A and B are shown apart, each in its own frame.
Chain A
């Protein structure tokens, strides 16, 4: 499966995603925000950055771009859609994932390595991992505090849609390990159908040992449907 990496004005992780996918043996297609086509055999990556300058709210304007109408249609057809950081914000604004991402509780822009606990390996995005595995994946965001109504949070838990939670180096999900105040330490969720992933941490930034780690590889490979482990 080939990935289309969407480029909005203000995206700044699009080339990182392209690079990481190439490292993993994929050859993605860059898609400009004014294009209107996602092919039926493609997955989609909405990369990080500051689409449309984060004006109004993060992801609010990107939602109405021409390409997002095609991305929505692709998601509805069951194609894989991955939103990373700003991409996660766009997916929530577009209604492809529930909830919203608000200003970090501590107000600071957090740019650091975060630890994530894998909560549910029974998804295509986490199939390379085991439950409770701790991943080291960088974050870089100012508005990553996940919020949703309590009924929505309960449904996310009940349906095992929470794939990653912020934790400490030992895998403990604690308040101290939560970099942005997200409800339930949520770092990444999937939709009910299981084809749409949104996460604030950047797996594309840790796909090579020389970049500081390879823990992100499994997420992108899993999204691509490649090399499920034994």
Chain B
């Protein structure tokens, strides 16, 4: 198993599922249109979460991060997540 030396960064982006109403996004959309942004037709607000990681092998790390993202950082009933693992720095 390949070991990952140094720091890694996991960027987890959590978004509401398309079927879930986003009243916060709608309020921001109204504000945008109020400031003249008539071209903007939709706003959806999500979360950007950064995790700093050191140690562990790639395969188990990815599995662990999927679990963290799916069970804690997002709620599968109402949210989707996207996991991006990259070199830290």
Interface residues of chain A, those whose CB is within 8 Å of chain B, are 56-57, 60-61, 64, 92-93, 98-100, 102-107, 145, 147-149, 181
Write out the residue numbers on chain B whose beta carbons fall within 8 Å of the beta carbon of A148: 77
- Does the CB pair A100–B78 fall under 8 Å? yes
**B59-74 with Cβ < 8 A to chain A:** 72-73
Q: Is the interface of A mostly helix, strand, loop or mixed?
A: loop
Could you list 8 examples of A-B contacts with CB < 8 Å? A98-B77, A99-B77, A100-B77, A102-B21, A103-B23, A145-B21, A149-B77, A181-B23
The reply to whether the CB of B24 lies closer than 8 angstroms to some CB of chain A is yes
CA A64 to CA B67, docked complex, whole Å: 13
Measured between alpha carbons, how far is A64 from B20 in the docked complex, in Å?
25
Chain B: minimal CB distance from A9 (Å): 17
Measured CB to CB, the closest approach of chain B to A161, in angstroms, equals: 16
Residue B27 at the chain A interface, CB threshold 8 Å: yes
Cβ of B77 and Cβ of A103 under 8 Å apart? no
* Shortest CB distance A133–B (Å): 30
Minimum CB distance partner of A108 in chain B: B23
- Kindly state the separation between the CA atoms of A148 and B72 in the bound complex, as whole angstroms: 18
Sort A-B residue pairs by CB-CB distance and give the 9 closest, nearest first.
Answer: A100-B77, A107-B23, A100-B78, A103-B23, A100-B75, A105-B23, A102-B78, A107-B27, A57-B75
Q: Is A106 within 8 A of B23, CB to CB?
A: yes
Choose one: B23, B72, B77; the contact of A147 (CB below 8 Å): B77
Q: Which residue on A lies nearest to B47, using beta carbons? A: A56
Separation of A212 and B82 alpha carbons in the complex (Å): 48
Chain A residue at minimum C-beta to C-beta distance from B74: A57
Give per-residue flags for B12-53: 1 if the beta carbon is below 8 A from chain A beta carbons, else 0: 000000001111100100000000000000000000000000
Q: Is the CB of A56 within 8 A of B77?
A: no
Contact A60 B21 (CB under 8 A): no
Chain B residues with Cβ under 8 A from A105's Cβ? 21, 23
* Shortest beta-carbon distance from B67 to chain A in Å: 12
Q: In the complex where A56-B72, A56-B73, A64-B72 touch, is A104 in contact with B78 (Cβ < 8 A)?
A: no
B75: contacting residue among A60, A64, A107, A145, CB under 8 A:
A60
Contact in complex: A181, B21 (CB < 8 Å): yes
Q: Chain A residues with Cβ under 8 A from B73's Cβ? A: 56
User: How long is the Cα–Cα vector from A181 to B26 in the complex, in angstroms?
Assistant: 15
Complex CA distance for A149 and B18, rounded to whole angstroms: 12
A147 adjacent to B78 (CB under 8 Å): yes
